[in-house]
Structure 1
Amino acid sequence: MSVHTQASAAGAGGLRAWLTTETPQSRTQAKLGRLYLGWLTFTRNTLAVVGLGIVLLLVAMAVLAPWLAPYDPLAQDLGQRLLPPSGAHWLGTDAFGRDILSRILYGSRLTLMIVLLVAVTAPVAGLLIGTVAGYLGGWVDTVLMRVTDIFLAFPKLILALAFVSALGPGIENAIIAIAITSWPPYARIARAETITIRRSDFISAVRLQGASKARIILGHVVPLCSSSLIVRVTLDMAGIILTAAGLGFLGLGAQPPAPEWGAMIATGRQYVLEQWWVATMPGIAIFVVSLGFNLLGDGLRDVLDPKG
């Protein structure tokens, strides 16, 4: 073994020992050590790593779509309509002669945008509502939870259809409708955990030090409830993608000629028996991405919520 190889091995071993020590010398070392141990736990789950790979592939597709797409996703060529998969068009063409692979690549941008915008709105709203209701209790808890129950009484897709019908078709209104209908489960989870946390000794100690209710909720309760919500958000991403695709399929989401996967399936359903690739290819994309988020969520649950 060369001197360079020995030094590299020693350096890697020293870093691993520094991260896994039971007596960290600083808060930064303790945080990095927890992250490293969490990563080791995550990587033991092969399917979770596969899910992470699929999600990273979705991100790469969205970022690199202009360079990966072989054709303009909006360019029509009726002389090339409904061509089967071939060397020129790997996934075939649709009824307007547009390259399906290019449209799927650009459609990943819409899918990722929906996922990100819903993930930063609905869980945050649910977390705040749930923690406030759980910590304050009384009439505040009663009012907030009854509103939550009203939203939970309706199927998510039906409620989203009602909101987007009132707001009007379009990708922005579809995102708003999905976010409005997605927060109640997060509020329920946050409230249940807050009721347990508020009885903890350290919360009593913080209260005795004169901390306000807002400071306790935002500074102590919310961070402790976040890990389980991250797991739930990741697992819910598949449902969010399917809801967005359902709205697009019904013509209430992204409007033509936008390359949204649900809308692509809708335009290809009339050719499903003979030109099967028109609807099948975007359907496979939805299936693979949904599966990836589910597998990733299972892995994160093992790391962030071992009791789950």
Structure 2
Amino acid sequence: MSTLPVTPQPRAGSRAWLLADTPHTRTQAVWGRRYRIWLGLRKNPLAITGLFTVLVVLLISLCAPWLTSYDPGAQDLAHRLAKPSSLHWLGTDELGRDTLSRILYGGRITLGMVIIVVAIVAPVGLLIGCVAGYAGGLLDRILMRITDIFLAFPRLILALAFVAALRPGIESAILAIALTAWPPYARLARAETMQVRGTDYIAACRLTGATPARIVLRHIMPLCVPSLVVRITLDMSSIIITAASLGFLGMGAQPPSPEWGAMIATARRFLFSEWWVPLIPAVAIFVTSLAFNFLGDGLRDVLDPKEK
């Protein structure tokens, strides 16, 4: 007497559902991959430290009005260059403005610039790289030579040239950084595209009648996203430093805006007397940049198949 094969029942619990070897739905597969990424990231203490630090900086910047009672632009000349105390936890600057409130509100400006730049350059670089890698031929050579021209100049020098051609300000700084930051993403996306464009998976898409635009947008670009996320996270620190450098040189955020680079610029003459005034925004830049580097290293270990 023959018996019917018994289908094994999945274990109860959300963890078993997320770690199932054979997902039954696309939603289960997507969330399972995300959960595995989190498990891999959790094994790296530096990556978790970076993630926690980035989240804390974002949170306190967003909650700045509720974390300090001082207006970042309010001047109190009677208490100028005051040392850190219970009244002003991080002291005051040369105009008596509370340094803590300016750091918190300045995080909004600096991180806001970084987020806007990434939101611009990531899709542009991804699209250019995928189109060049999939099309090949003359279009590939033209797009890559344009990319090489931008890569030939140091990012800060090229950003300064763009800002000088426009006008100093936050908007000009964002545009200048975006115009100089996209080439590495395009190069990375092109390399990833050239690895997958000859696979059976892409050939099957062509046989089904998919147009080149659909193949690039729906099948190739999603495959390039993990590597791009790693590159973006690692590149966050350089974008922060570039934005702060433009502010320091007077080409980015303009005084009295509480941008970290501009704060260092106005306080640099007090470096050897009231050292805490320029040191505190410098520490904010250093900690935030280091946190993004830690997080990027952890994501590279998890998402890059060459690291496994």
Q: Same fold (TM over 0.5)?
A: yes
Pairing 1:133–2:128 present: no
Please list every run of 5 or more consecutive structure 1 residues that lacks an aligned counterpart in the other structure.
Answer: 1-11
Relative to structure 1, the CA distance from residue 99 to residue 13 in structure 2 (aligned partners, 3 Å threshold; closer, same or farther) is: farther
Pairing 1:29–2:28 present: yes
Pairing 1:173–2:168 present: no
Task: Name whichever of 17-26 and 139-148 sits farther off.
Answer: 17-26
1:284 matched to which residue of 2? 283
2:156 matched to which residue of 1? 157
1:6 matched to which residue of 2? none
Pairing 1:198–2:203 present: no
Show the 5 A alignment for 1:106-121. Answer: 106-121=105-120
**Cα displacement (A) at 1:25:** 2.1
1:39 matched to which residue of 2? 38
- Please tell me whether the aligned partners of residues 128 and 222 of structure 1 are also in contact (alpha carbons under 8 angstroms): yes
* Over 6 Å off, 4+ runs: none
1:81 matched to which residue of 2? 80
2:147 partner letter: T
1:9 matched to which residue of 2? none
Provide the rounded CA distance (Å) in 2 between the counterparts of 1:57 and 1:295: 15
TM-score computed with the length of structure 2 as normaliser = 0.94
Provide the rounded CA distance (Å) in 2 between the counterparts of 1:169 and 1:21: 54
Task: Name whichever of 180-189 and 26-35 sits farther off.
Answer: 26-35
2:75 partner letter: Q
Please list every run of 5 or more consecutive structure 2 residues that lacks an aligned counterpart in the other structure.
Answer: 1-10
**Cα displacement (A) at 1:13:** 6.7
The superposition leaves residues 138-189 of structure 1 with CA deviations (integer Å, 9 ceiling, x where unpaired) of 1101110000000000000000000011111000110000000000000101
Task: Name whichever of 210-219 and 26-35 sits farther off.
Answer: 26-35
2:230 matched to which residue of 1? 231
- Please tell me whether the aligned partners of residues 58 and 112 of structure 1 are also in contact (alpha carbons under 8 angstroms): no
Task: Name whichever of 53-62 and 233-242 sits farther off.
Answer: 53-62
1:207 matched to which residue of 2? 206
Pairing 1:49–2:56 present: no
2:6 matched to which residue of 1? none
SS in 2 for 1:23: coil
2:264 matched to which residue of 1? 265
2:67 matched to which residue of 1? 68
2:287 partner letter: V
**Cα displacement (A) at 1:193:** 0.9
**Cα displacement (A) at 1:200:** 0.6
Aligned Cα root-mean-square deviation (Å): 1.1
2:304 matched to which residue of 1? 305
Provide the rounded CA distance (Å) in 2 between the counterparts of 1:46 and 1:306: 20
Provide the rounded CA distance (Å) in 1 between the counterparts of 2:215 and 2:73: 52
2:255 matched to which residue of 1? 256
**Cα displacement (A) at 1:306:** 3.3
**Cα displacement (A) at 1:24:** 2.1
SS in 1 for 2:209: coil
- Please tell me whether the aligned partners of residues 133 and 140 of structure 1 are also in contact (alpha carbons under 8 angstroms): yes
The superposition leaves residues 46-104 of structure 1 with CA deviations (integer Å, 9 ceiling, x where unpaired) of 10000001110111012100111231100011111011111111111100000100000
2:38 partner letter: W
Provide the rounded CA distance (Å) in 2 between the counterparts of 1:285 and 1:306: 33
Provide the rounded CA distance (Å) in 2 between the counterparts of 1:246 and 1:191: 30
**Cα displacement (A) at 1:17:** 1.6
Task: Name whichever of 230-239 and 29-38 sits farther off.
Answer: 29-38
Provide the rounded CA distance (Å) in 2 between the counterparts of 1:301 and 1:124: 20
Relative to structure 1, the CA distance from residue 266 to residue 288 in structure 2 (aligned partners, 3 Å threshold; closer, same or farther) is: same
Provide the rounded CA distance (Å) in 2 between the counterparts of 1:140 and 1:25: 41
Provide the rounded CA distance (Å) in 2 between the counterparts of 1:144 and 1:22: 41
Provide the rounded CA distance (Å) in 2 between the counterparts of 1:184 and 1:64: 34
> Identity of counterpart residues, as a percentage?
63
**Cα displacement (A) at 1:120:** 0.8
1:8 matched to which residue of 2? none
Provide the rounded CA distance (Å) in 2 between the counterparts of 1:53 and 1:109: 17
2:197 partner letter: R
TM-score computed with the length of structure 1 as normaliser = 0.94
- Please tell me whether the aligned partners of residues 111 and 240 of structure 2 are also in contact (alpha carbons under 8 angstroms): no
**Cα displacement (A) at 1:32:** 1.5
- Please tell me whether the aligned partners of residues 170 and 253 of structure 2 are also in contact (alpha carbons under 8 angstroms): yes
